[in-house]
Amino acid sequence: MASNVPKVLFKNGTSVPMLGLGTWNSPPGQVAQAVKDAIDVGYRHIDCAHVYENEHEVGEGIAAKIAEGCVKREDLFVTSKLWNTFHRPDLVQGALQVTLRNLNLKYLDLYLIHWPVAYREGGELFPWRPDGKRVHFSDVDYVDTWPAMEGLVKTGLVRSIGLSNFNRNQVERILNIARIPPVTNQIECHPYLHQADLTEYCRQHDVTITAYSPLGSPARPWVKDNDPVLMDDPVVQSVAKRHSKSAAQVLIRYQIQLGHIVIPKSVTKERIVANLDVFGGGFELRAADMQLLRDLERTGRICPDSFSFGHPHHPFEAEFRKKKR
C-alpha cells in the first residue's frame, strides 16, 4: 500500500515521514507483528531504541516485509537511540553496531542521543545504586559524545543524527560545537506539556521537533490511578466529537499541524490503522480547536526520568525543584 503520510525536510535535506510507529513499552512478542501491520497499511517510519529491548523484533518485522517485496529498505525511515551507558566516545560505534545487528540493517536513517545524562559504563542498562531509586552516573559530557556521533555519519552507518530529551541550554551547547548539527530533538509533547520555549528555540535553529507520548502515554508503567488521562480530557473529547474522530486522532493531528513529527505507539492493528487516518478526508483542526488544545498546558511531564535526579546534565530537574517551591 502506498503511504499518504506527508514528509518534512530536515536541515540536511533528508525527507522524513511526519508520522511514525513508536515502539517504546510495546509488549514482547507483539512488536514484530505491529511493525508488519504498520508497513502493510502505509507506515514508512519506525522509531526504536536500544533500551526498549525489542529491536530484534522490529528487525524481524522489517525483514519480513522486505522479503515479501512489500517495501525496499530505502522506502523506510528507521530511527534508533544511543543509550546512556554508551556515551563515552569509544563506545558509541559499538553501541550502534549492536542496534544494527538487532535490526538486521546496514545503516540507520537517524540516530539520537537518547538522554543527555550518562550512566556508569558496563553491562547493565540501569546500574542501580543500593537504594534502588537512582542510578550510578558517569562523568562523560554529551558534548564529548557528539563528535563520535558525527563520526558515524562519516562512516555511512548513519544518515542523520540528533538529540532526544535535551533542554534548550543543552541543544545550544551541541549547536555551539557541532560540525554536523542535530536534525531533530525528540521530546515529550502533548497538550498537557508543550515545552513552548524549547520548541521555539529549536524551530529558530532548524532543529525539527519529534513528539513522543503524543497521546499522554496512558499505559506507562508508573501511571497512578489519580493521574489525569489526556485522551479522556473533556476538551479533547469535545474536539474529537466535533470532527467525528477519536481523541487519539485529534492528538496526532494536533502535532502534525504544529509542524512536528509524531510517533504514537500501538501494537493493536485497529489502532495502528486509525492513527494513520489523520490525513485527507477534509480532517483539519480549526484555529479555535488548536487554541483549545494549547490552553490545556499544565506542564504535566509524564517522563521525568526521576531516577537520574542529581545528575549534572539532568534536563528537567530544575523544573521539578521550581514546582516544589
- The residues that are catalytic are 52
Does 45 count as an annotated binding residue? no
> What one-character-per-residue DSSP string does 156-196 give?
TSEEEEEEES--HHHHHHHHHH-SS--SEEEEE-BTTB--H
Instruction: Report the distance separating Cα 77 and Cα 63, nearest Å.
Output: 14
Nearest alpha carbon to residue 260 among 307, 190, 160? 190
Instruction: Report the distance separating Cα 146 and Cα 164, nearest Å.
Output: 13
Instruction: Report the distance separating Cα 210 and Cα 22, nearest Å.
Output: 11
Grid coordinates representing 196? 513552548
Find out whether 249 and 241 touch, Cβ atoms under 8 Å: no
Radius of gyration from C-alpha coordinates of the chain? 19
Q: Which residues touch 109 (CB under 8 Å, ≥6 apart)?
A: 14, 16, 76, 77, 78, 79, 158, 159, 160
Q: Which residues touch 48 (CB under 8 Å, ≥6 apart)?
A: 23, 54, 55, 58, 78, 79, 80, 81, 99, 103
Binding residues for substrate are: 114
Binding residues are: 114
